[in-house]
Amino acid sequence: MMVEEIKKHLTECIIPFWKKLRDDEFGGYYGFMDHDLNVDKMAVKGCILNSRITWFFANAYMLLKDESLLEEARHGFAFMKEHCMDKENGGIFWSIQYNGEPEDTTKHTYNQAFSIYALSSYYDASKDEEALAMAKELFHLIEEKCTDEIGYKEAFDRQFQEIENDKLSENGVLADKTMNTLLHVFEAYTELYRVSHDKQVKARLEWIMDTIAEKIYNPRLHRQEVFFDREMHSILDLHSYGHDIETAWLLRRGTDILDEKAYEDKMLPIILDLTSQTYKAAFNGESLANECEKGVVDQNRIWWVQAEAVVGFLNGYLLMPEHMEYLEAAKAEWNFIKEHLIDKRPGSEWFWDVNAAGEPVSGKPIVEPWKCPYHNGRMCLEVMKRGAAIA
C-alpha cells in the first residue's frame, strides 16, 4: 500500500510539478515559486537547485525508464555545463541569473559535491562520457583546492581564495567546517565511485568514513556534531535529527557500494546508534522534530527531515527486521506527509514546513534555491527500490 501510494505520488505529483518549472528560453529550471504559487521567471537559479533537479530526473529515469525523464536530465545537464561551470577558473558557481549569467560566483565545497552527485548519476543514465569527465574534474578540484591537513574547507571566492562560510553556517555561529558539507561530499563520492570504481575516490571515501567515526560522531551523546572550528572541534551544542537519520542510510549505502568488510564493521554500529537515538529522541509516533539546540527542541516538521526519516527508518528496519517499530515509524511518517506536508492545492508540491500538529507555519516558498525534488523525490525512489522488502 505504502509503496504503491508513493509511486503514484512521484509520477502524478512530484515529476509533473518539476517538469512545469523547466525554462526552455534561458535553460535550467525556474528558481522560485512563492507560498501563493506564483512563479518568478526572473528569479536567481541556484546551482544546487539545478544540480539536484538534474540528479532527480536522471535517477527517476533509471527507475521508471520513461524517456521524457532522461530528456529533463539532459536539459539540466546542459544548463550545468553551459552556465553553472566556471570555464575560466574551474568549479561550479553558487547561483546564476535567470538569463544564464553568473550571479553569485562563490565556490563552495558543498556545491561542488552536488554537481559531482548529479553528473555521476546523469552519466549512468545517459552514458555521456563528458558528464563523467566533468565529475572527475570536480573531484580533483575539491581534493586540490578545498582541503587542508584536517579536512574539507568550505567557502571560496571565484579564484578559490578562502572566504567566510556564511552559506553553510546557521544557528548564530560561523563554522570553519561542517558535518553537512562532509556528509554530502561523502554522498557525491559514493555515487562517483559507484559509476567509475576510481581508486582515488575509494581512498577518499574511506578517509571520510574514518573522519565521521572519529571526529563527527559523538558516541557519548549518540549523535553527530554539526558545526566545527578549523581543527574540527565542535562549536555548538546541536543535535540535527534530520541529518542523523539521513547520515544513517547514506552511510549504509556507502558501505554497500564500497564493499569492504572492515568499513562495514566499523560503520554499522554508528548507523544503528544514529537510527536508534533519532527514533527515541525525536520521533513522536507520527513525525520527526527538526533539531535540538542547547536542550531546546525545534518542534517544526521540515519537509526534508520527514522525507529522510522515511528512508532512514526503513533502512533501520531492513538492517534489523526484529525492530518492527522502525517499519511502523516509516509508515507513520508517510501518513503524516500525506496528510500535512503535501500541499493539496492544484499546481503545488510540498510545504516547506508545518508544526507538530501538521499546520503550515512559515509561509515559506514552495520552490527556492534549497527547495527541490532531491529529498522528497529521492524518498520516493528509495522506497520503491525497497518495495519488495517492505510490502
- CA dist list (Å): 28 to 23, 227, 348: 6, 32, 19
Are 128 and 77 in contact, with CB atoms under 8 Å apart?
yes
- Could you state, in order of their start, the residue ranges of all structural domains in the chain? 2-390
- The angle subtended at Cα 74 by Cα 71 and Cα 75, nearest 5°, is 90
Q: Which of 90, 103, 114 is nearest to 370 (CA)?
A: 114
- The mean pLDDT value for 312-319 works out to 97
Q: Map grid coordinates 536567481 to a residue.
A: 44
The pLDDT score that the predictor gives to residue 259 is 97
341-381 pLDDT tens trace: 999 999 999 999 999 999 988 899 999 999 999 999 999 99
Mean pLDDT of the chain: 97
pTM: 0.97
The pLDDT score that the predictor gives to residue 387 is 86
Query: pLDDT band for position 144 (50/70/90)?
Result: very high
- The mean pLDDT value for 193-207 works out to 98
The pLDDT score that the predictor gives to residue 29 is 98
- The mean pLDDT value for 272-298 works out to 98
- The mean pLDDT value for 161-165 works out to 97
The pLDDT score that the predictor gives to residue 256 is 98
Side-chain-side CA neighbours of residue 328 (13 Å): 8
Query: pLDDT band for position 254 (50/70/90)?
Result: very high
Query: pLDDT band for position 389 (50/70/90)?
Result: confident
User: Which cell numbers hold the place of 289?
Assistant: 522534530
- CA dist list (Å): 293 to 135, 193, 225: 36, 35, 11
Q: Which amino acid is at 13?
A: C
Bridge partners of 223, per DSSP, are 218
Asked if residue 315 has pLDDT above 70, the reply is yes
The pLDDT score that the predictor gives to residue 390 is 76
Q: Just give the CATH number of 2-390.
A: 1.50.10.10
Q: Which amino acid is at 354?
A: V
Q: Map grid coordinates 553553510 to a residue.
A: 168
The pLDDT score that the predictor gives to residue 325 is 97
The pLDDT score that the predictor gives to residue 318 is 97
Report residue 377: phi and psi, to 5°: -65, -40
The pLDDT score that the predictor gives to residue 391 is 62
Strand spans (E) along 120-214? 155-156, 177-178
User: Which cell numbers hold the place of 268?
Assistant: 554499522
Are 354 and 301 in contact, with CB atoms under 8 Å apart?
yes
